[in-house]
Chain A
């Protein structure tokens, strides 16, 4: 469903993606983790071409992103993207945030789009917020609306770029619960996250990145119990016992 073959990307002289080879199959949940600055956000942003690649080939849902003739807007409509900072449209109510793209891009009637939006709002537990504005919601609620907004396009793939990193700790659980529910429904997902509990429980595979390279790719049980690469071992130690690693 998503196939990276020898993908490279540079920001000026910085080699942010270095020979990425990755294959995500339909229904699979892939968690990408790694220290900050490792290129994992850039990697997930190439999948809907928020960042174009410089070299190699990337095929998403049968569409070749290195081909100039590929209709990028059509591809993006099939791929949901959830941002770290939610990025809801602040001038629109919750329900209008969700119905905007389906009515304008999928040409759904307003009535159908709103019915569908209410189903999604129920699913993320926010039906009573339909007429609220983003500024009136907590971070966790905004992120759940953002997920509903992405799902309203009936995407074939969902991408999550550190969806809980901007949230207060007590709100992380509500967002992860929605994502877990989505994973169990069979959605193909790529998730960049530091939530190792989520990775362990929900992911089918974990990819570990550092310095633009995928150093390790394994099922979560192997990755967490028997990390092969030294950088991965170090990363996991730091996540589990952050205080100790800062004061050796």
Chain B
């Protein structure tokens, strides 16, 4: 016989429910901000990686290898415990007075994921026929404008399946932010568990929330794909 009594009511109402909801909101904010920034940064790094200028290319290459090949947890700790030490005291004090945990987690997630996104986008760009670049340049577009209007929109369409993977990884990786005290979903589930010893219920709730979040991200990208980019017509 089980000697554990299930009590789902603690996570569906009252104080603990509110904790979980606030955790969800923080996870959503952290994921959304980091996904948008990681995508933009990833695009920039991908273009730099293909630049005609050797130093720019090397910088992007070093960036990629550096951030892809170190653990995310170490990067989170670096931004939270390490990065601000080299800043002036005044900035330091200001950072501590703000919600610096959140910012550090967002920076780490953004930079870490942007390295993977950049490589995905670059492989997308390489798969676009070179005649597209010729057509764009012939019309009078500069190299960067050709990228912006003609190459990247096509590359991103091709890159959507791996991009969805990166977005999902980011959303799930955001749970690591609890280690520096960001009160996100996992942090709150842990908190509920400590107060109630209802670990099964608390982490079931967290599991379901992450699952739904991931499904929602996939669905959102698919809808964007279909309705906005007209992918079915344009291939």
* B137 at interface, CB cutoff 8 A: yes
3 cross-chain pairs, A with B, having the tightest CB-CB distances, nearest first: A77-B140, A87-B135, A81-B138
Closest Cβ neighbor of B130 among chain A residues: A87
Chain B 27-46 near chain A by CB (<8 Å), digits 1 or 0: 00000000000000000000
* A68 at interface, CB cutoff 8 A: no
User: Chain A residues with Cβ under 8 A from B149's Cβ?
Assistant: 100, 104
User: Chain B residues with Cβ under 8 A from A78's Cβ?
Assistant: 140
A172 and B230 CA atoms in complex are apart in Å by: 30
* B234 at interface, CB cutoff 8 A: yes
A105 and B150 CA atoms in complex are apart in Å by: 14
- The answer to whether A85 and B131 touch across the interface, beta carbons within 8 angstroms, is yes
User: Chain A residues with Cβ under 8 A from B132's Cβ?
Assistant: 87, 89
- The answer to whether A50 and B134 touch across the interface, beta carbons within 8 angstroms, is yes
Given contacts A83-B135, A87-B131, contact A101 B141 (CB under 8 A): yes
- The answer to whether B139 and A83 touch across the interface, beta carbons within 8 angstroms, is no
- The answer to whether B233 and A104 touch across the interface, beta carbons within 8 angstroms, is no
CB distance from B134 to the nearest CB of A (A): 6
User: Chain A residues with Cβ under 8 A from B131's Cβ?
Assistant: 83, 85, 87
Tell which of A74, A83, A136 touches B140, judged by Cβ atoms closer than 8 Å.
A74
A74 and B137 CA atoms in complex are apart in Å by: 11
Tell which of B134, B139, B229, B233 touches A101, judged by Cβ atoms closer than 8 Å.
B139
A87 and B234 CA atoms in complex are apart in Å by: 14
- The answer to whether A153 and B134 touch across the interface, beta carbons within 8 angstroms, is no
A101 and B127 CA atoms in complex are apart in Å by: 23
* B9 at interface, CB cutoff 8 A: no
A92 and B139 CA atoms in complex are apart in Å by: 15
Complex A-B: 15 CB contacts under 8 Å: A50-B138, A73-B142, A74-B140, A83-B134, A87-B129, A87-B132, A87-B135, A89-B136, A89-B150, A100-B150, A101-B140, A104-B145, A134-B234, A135-B234, A136-B233
CB distance from B202 to the nearest CB of A (A): 46
Q: How many residues of A contact B (CB 8 A)?
A: 28
Tell which of A50, A89, A133, A150 touches B230, judged by Cβ atoms closer than 8 Å.
A133
Chain B 125-167 near chain A by CB (<8 Å), digits 1 or 0: 0000101101111111110010001100110010000000000
- The answer to whether A90 and B138 touch across the interface, beta carbons within 8 angstroms, is no
* A231 at interface, CB cutoff 8 A: no
User: Chain B residues with Cβ under 8 A from A105's Cβ?
Assistant: 139-141
A81 and B142 CA atoms in complex are apart in Å by: 16
User: Chain B residues with Cβ under 8 A from A50's Cβ?
Assistant: 134, 137-138
* A91 at interface, CB cutoff 8 A: yes
- The answer to whether A92 and B140 touch across the interface, beta carbons within 8 angstroms, is no
* B235 at interface, CB cutoff 8 A: yes
- The answer to whether A87 and B134 touch across the interface, beta carbons within 8 angstroms, is yes
- The answer to whether A153 and B139 touch across the interface, beta carbons within 8 angstroms, is yes
User: Chain B residues with Cβ under 8 A from A77's Cβ?
Assistant: 139-140
- The answer to whether B134 and A133 touch across the interface, beta carbons within 8 angstroms, is no
CB distance from B213 to the nearest CB of A (A): 29
* A164 at interface, CB cutoff 8 A: no
Closest Cβ neighbor of B153 among chain A residues: A91
User: Chain A residues with Cβ under 8 A from B157's Cβ?
Assistant: 91
Chain A 142-180 near chain B by CB (<8 Å), digits 1 or 0: 000000011001000000000000000000000000000
